[in-house]
Amino acid sequence: MAFSTTFPDDDSHRLQGDIELVRAVRATGPDSTAFRYMDETLFDYVMGTLMNLNATQTLRREVRRQCRIPLPSPPRDWGDHSRRVIFFSARTGVDRFMDSYVIGGKWDHRKGASVKTSAVRRGLYSFADEYRIYLREETGKELLFGDPVTLPVQVSRTPLAADPAVLASQRDFLNRLLVGHDEFAVAIFGCVMSGMKHAEIADELDTDVETVDREWRSIKNNLKKRLGKVTADDSSE
């Protein structure tokens, strides 16, 4: 069966072209020319997209918008490390996309997202991971929420526990307390508990005050429901 090894530019044919290319790659496997072409093309596209977003200072905002993952402001030397972090993000994101979504069959054209759009989203998720690693290397801090939220938060305005066992206990308690909330909401909770005002939180997480207000109301309503249950569970242990 003949197939095309190009990504069509015409919007009306893009998804059909993607379907044919993905089928070809799945049929021929990861050692094929079609796989290598697709991998290299997607890497260049994802790398370029992330670099452009970083140049326009919208990369963290796009991660929050598409992935609901908050990322704090970068250190002053971010410009010296950004290309390295973005390179690893694009490489890891495309590798995962090719393995799980193309060969593994998770890419679904019925959802309406093209192969390139889907690969970029994997790249954004990978950037969140790589950015956290970079921040941990730069700050060297032990953080209350661990990897998902890289913010130097405090609980009830008291310093973080120095004892790793106590810190782990605090994390476990908060994970149970905030069950049902995503990382963005958890980051807002951490910022509020560390004494930041909503306007400061909005600036730090690259969002607007109305969003922070709305998420905080949701957290408070959930806490009213959850707090009694958590306390009851603790008393029974």
Interval 115-128: pLDDT, tens: 999 999 999 999 98
| 204-219 pLDDT per residue, tens | 777 788 888 988 888 8
Does residue 124 share a domain with residue 203? no
CA 74, distance to chain mean position in Å, is: 15
What confidence score (pLDDT) does residue 113 get? 86
| Any domain includes 156 | no
Tokens of 186: 């958890």
What confidence score (pLDDT) does residue 230 get? 44
Report the alpha-carbon distance of residue 94 to residue 68 in Å, rounded.
20
Tally of structural domains, the chain = 2
The angle formed by the CA atoms of residues 47, 48 and 54, to the nearest 5 degrees, is 90
Residue 20: domain span: 11-139
Does residue 116 share a domain with residue 16? yes
The angle formed by the CA atoms of residues 74, 162 and 204, to the nearest 5 degrees, is 25
Does residue 178 share a domain with residue 116? no
Does residue 126 share a domain with residue 22? yes
What confidence score (pLDDT) does residue 159 get? 41
pTM: 0.64
| 79-96 pLDDT per residue, tens | 889 999 999 999 999 999
* CATH number of the domain bearing residue 196: 1.10.10
